[in-house]
Chain A
Amino acid sequence: MDPIRTIRSRTVVMPRANIDTDQIMPARFLTTTTREGLGEHLFADWRYDAAGKAIAEFVLNRPEAAGCQILVAGRNFGCGSSREHAPWGLYDYGFRAVVSTEIADIFRSNALKNGLVPVVVDEATHAALLAQPGAEASIDLERSSLTLPGGREVRFPIESFARYCLLNGVDQTSYLLSKQAAIDEFERRMKA
């Protein structure tokens, strides 16, 4: 995994609350057996009509959405199903961070393992971002901070180990594998 330090981009704003992972990646695309190519199906039922034609009003279909890496979404983003296909799709599409006042547990955990930074901010910061779709914001992972379009910097909470892994491009599987001796010992105690 490539290390992530800063993300600087215009924002895409989806103000709806409780955007669940069935919206992010509908179940019919889950019969895939790879991680790749899911960006094409991201928000499929909001993005395309019954005939498969792009719905012009949907935010990701507007020309200004192209190249945006920061998604600002309504409260409780990523609720519902544990499908990791949701963060895979967001990442494959080009997003590198999701900003909301609340991010669902399993989605957050999945996002952190795939180079997608979950950023939880207070209501006022959220309101400021929602009010300026397409404005440029930046995220500094080392400082755990988000800089708003006006230049105001706010800190956000992020689990320290996941942050370390993102900053250094360390994958968590290797870390767990390094705990082999402790796991062996635990299993020995369990048997006794």
Chain B
Amino acid sequence: MSARTLFEKLWQAHEVVPETPDTPAVLYVDLHLTHEVTSPQAFATLRARRLKVRRPDRTVATLDHSTPTDRDQLFGKVPIRMESAARQIREFESNCAEFGIELLGLTHAQRGIVHIIGPELGLTQPGKTIVCGDSHTSTHGAFGALAFGIGTTEVGHVLATQCLLQRKPSTLAVNVEGELDRGVTAKDLVLAIIHELGVSGGTGSVIEYRGGTIRRLSMEERMTVCNMSIEAGARAGLVAPDETTFAYLEGRPRAPQGAAFERAVDAWRRLPTDPDATFDREVVIEAAAIAPMITYGTNPGMSVPITGTVPVRSGDGVHAKALEYMGLTAGQPMLGQRVEFVFLGSCTNARLSDLREAARILGGHKVATGVRFIVVPGSQQIKRQAEAEGLDRVFIDAGAEWRESGCSMCLGMNGDVVARGAYCVSTSNRNFEGRQGVGARTLLASPITATASAIAGRIADPRGFLS
């Protein structure tokens, strides 16, 4: 067989019916993750057509998007404040019960953000196809799984048939070589990649992140990189599985166990791109040239090194509109810009390693007066692990809020919102207008940059806080 990329191996292994000029491929889905926001209309379609869920055993549900992160609301001590969210959650619970789908519900010890719990439980594995009605499904590609976001009609397709109709995307290799500097994280790397590719640079393609820098990243870091593939327009992001991947998965409750794990690893070792395989397109990124990054505009491609200034682009209408929304002036330094909110959370950066790094920066410092610093662990398990390590005390003693897990302030549909006109340094993935609340001004950055900024009350360089 001719040399194949990781993507081609994944694709071919899941073709139920190959594509033809007239019809797309029927692609098999190994794992379908679902949540309360993008599924209700799909269940309604199933009900209307008297269809069953074909493989409830390949479907896992959780509550994260419109779910409150306030303890009393989550655990039912007080009613969920947003009535429409409460209704949506109840409907999801009854849909899962009716169709026989396993739900990690409101009070479940393993509940959390869908893209955090898949890997955490070992559901996410190399070689799988994984879909979810959420564009950040690309996160799971960090394991060498073909994982991508789908719409609600497609959620219905997968529920009913365990398959999707797909045209084969093109391949894009992003080769990253060199050492990341001190204080430069996976988040800074992916912001730099998106800046390089542009927010539509990956449209129509699946990215494979390659090179020495990627190989040296931990699984958590690879997830952060793959998570934001969609912000460059790509369908999916991939990292070839290796010893780091296998070590992460070994012993996870839903991963194969014992001899079955060994057999699985043997199969996973055959997945990486063959040496002679070619990509439709390749780009090279120099890791050593990357500084801590921060966004200044209203899409994730509008970023600068933290020591930089807001770019000057006369005659660029998009740029002008973004600066007007953000209340920033071309030429002004990013450092020192006052902030009112700091959000540490989301499927991009709410894993235990993110919380640990942030807590280390916080040390004995206090959150600046006038700053609301909200810390939202990615899952209930992460929350408990962090508490066992005493990280919650570090955040609480500094004046931060310590919450239950959920999507929270990443997308402002669960009660956690940034005030109109306020600036928020956020570890999430999107700085679109209104993303964190109507009129909210989002500045995307790494967990350590966010924490440094919470201490300073202004955008701050995390390198000044590294001991």
Listed in ascending order, the chain A residues whose CB lies under 8 Å from chain B are: 15-18, 20, 22-23, 26-28, 30-35, 45, 50, 74-76, 79-84, 87, 102, 104-106, 109-110, 113-114, 159-161, 164, 172-173, 175-177, 179-180, 182-183, 186-187, 190
Contact = CB atoms under 8 A, between A and B. Distances in A.
Contacts of A83: 37-38, 151
Contact of B430 (A80, A164, A186): A80
A31 B87 CA distance: 8
Contacts of A183: 16, 26, 28, 54, 161-163
B433 A109 contact: no
Contacts of B353: none
A173 B157 contact: yes
Given A20-B299, A27-B411, A27-B412, A84 B153 contact: yes
B133 A176 contact: no
A58 to B, nearest CB: 13
B257 interface: no
B317 interface: yes
Nearest to A179: B26
Nearest to B95: A33
Contacts of A28: 412-413
Given A104-B203, A113-B151, A182-B16, A173 B318 contact: no
Given A31-B413, A33-B40, 7 more contacts: A22-B434, A76-B199, A79-B199, A84-B151, A102-B200, A102-B203, A109-B154
Given A20-B299, A172-B157, A172-B165, A84 B40 contact: no
Given A20-B432, A106-B135, A109-B154, A30 B161 contact: no
Nearest to A113: B153
Contact of B151 (A34, A75, A106): A106
B66 A173 contact: no
B157 A176 contact: yes
Contacts of A176: 26, 157, 160-161, 163, 165
27 contacts: A16-B318, A27-B411, A27-B435, A28-B413, A30-B66, A31-B66, A31-B87, A31-B88, A34-B41, A50-B420, A74-B318, A76-B199, A79-B200, A81-B430, A82-B134, A84-B38, A84-B152, A87-B151, A105-B204, A109-B150, A110-B154, A173-B49, A173-B161, A176-B163, A179-B17, A182-B16, A190-B28
Contact of A161 (B23, B82, B154): B23
B433 A110 contact: no
A177 B161 contact: yes
Contacts of A175: 165
Q: Is the interface of B mostly helix, strand, loop or mixed?
A: loop
B44 interface: yes
B160 A177 contact: yes
A177 B434 CA distance: 39
B38 A27 contact: no
A183 B22 CA distance: 19
A2 B318 CA distance: 37
B126 to A, nearest CB: 16
A161 B24 contact: yes
A114 B151 CA distance: 11
B450 interface: no
A31 B37 contact: yes
B235 interface: yes
Contact of A104 (B28, B54, B233): B233
B237 interface: no
Q: Which of B37, B150, B151, B203 has the most CB of A within 10 A?
A: B151
A18 B149 contact: no
Contact of A105 (B134, B157, B161, B203): B203
B21 A31 contact: no
Contacts of A18: 199-200, 299, 318
Contacts of A182: 16-17, 26
A173 B160 contact: yes
A27 B411 CA distance: 6
Nearest to B91: A33
A159 B235 contact: no
A106 B134 CA distance: 10
Interface in B444-467: none
B85 interface: yes
Interface string B130-155: 00011100000000000001111110
A172 B151 CA distance: 13
B45 interface: yes
Contact of B153 (A17, A110, A164): A110
Contacts of B87: 31, 33
A102 B198 CA distance: 13
A23 B24 CA distance: 30
Contacts of A173: 45, 49, 153, 156-157, 160-161
A14 to B, nearest CB: 12
A114 B66 contact: no
Q: Which 4 A-B pairs have the closest CB atoms?
A: A33-B40, A31-B84, A110-B151, A84-B151
A23 B134 contact: no
Interface string B1-15: 000000000000000
Contacts of B412: 27-28
B438 interface: yes
Nearest to B436: A27
A112 B16 CA distance: 22
Nearest to B155: A84
A180 to B, nearest CB: 7
Contacts of B338: none
A41 to B, nearest CB: 12
B97 to A, nearest CB: 16
